[in-house]
Amino acid sequence: MQGCGRQGQQYGFDMTLRKAGIIDCEELYRMQLKCFRELLEKYRDYDFSPGAEKIEKTERRLREQFSDYYFICLGKAHIGALRVIHLETLCILKQIYILPEYQGKGYAQRALRLAEALYPSALRWELDTILQEEKLCHLYEKMGYRQNGRTEEIKENMTLVFYAKDVTV
């Protein structure tokens, strides 16, 4: 495991994002399975859940030119990861996950702010999450994202809700 850099001091602790490469595939994958296990068990969504994906999907994403993975680092520890698709002035947050023992401490908010700062040309950010997961919806709304009116029912009692955030220049 490569160490994490030293940025993010403005938050009063040593949080950084470190871009991941193909060499990090296995660690990202193991972390993803651990972080999404609870949601997978709750919703039993074996078709779309990141907790049910195969490692080949992570490897394919790492090779995409328009997709960036970052480790979320606290000091030298990898406490989570996120993935951003960047398309000129649009960025799409495809995944953000924090290891269970670090959840509920504000790290996702801080990591998202760091990620947004990495793409200064982005005029719009988009993401989706599970509507029934109030904590996740609250997180994104707190970060300035607004529901865009689109939803997609995945299965009974599981609906994706889509969010967008326009960046003012």
pLDDT digits (tens, 9 = 90+) for 134-154: 999 999 999 999 999 999 999
Domain spanning 9-128, CATH class: alpha beta
Alpha helix positions (H), the chain: 25-43, 55-63, 107-117, 134-142
CA 144/CA 157 separation, integer angstroms:
26
pLDDT (tens digit, 9 = 90+) per residue, 42-55? 999 999 999 999 99
> CA separation (Å) from 74 to 4, 16, 26, 156, 161?
8, 7, 20, 37, 30
If one compares 5 and 6, the residue with the highest pLDDT of the two is: 5
pTM for the full predicted model: 0.91
What is the rounded distance in angstroms from the CA atom of residue 15 to the CA atom of residue 5?
9
Mean pLDDT of 101-118: 96
Rounded Cα–Cα distance for residues 11 and 132 (Å): 30
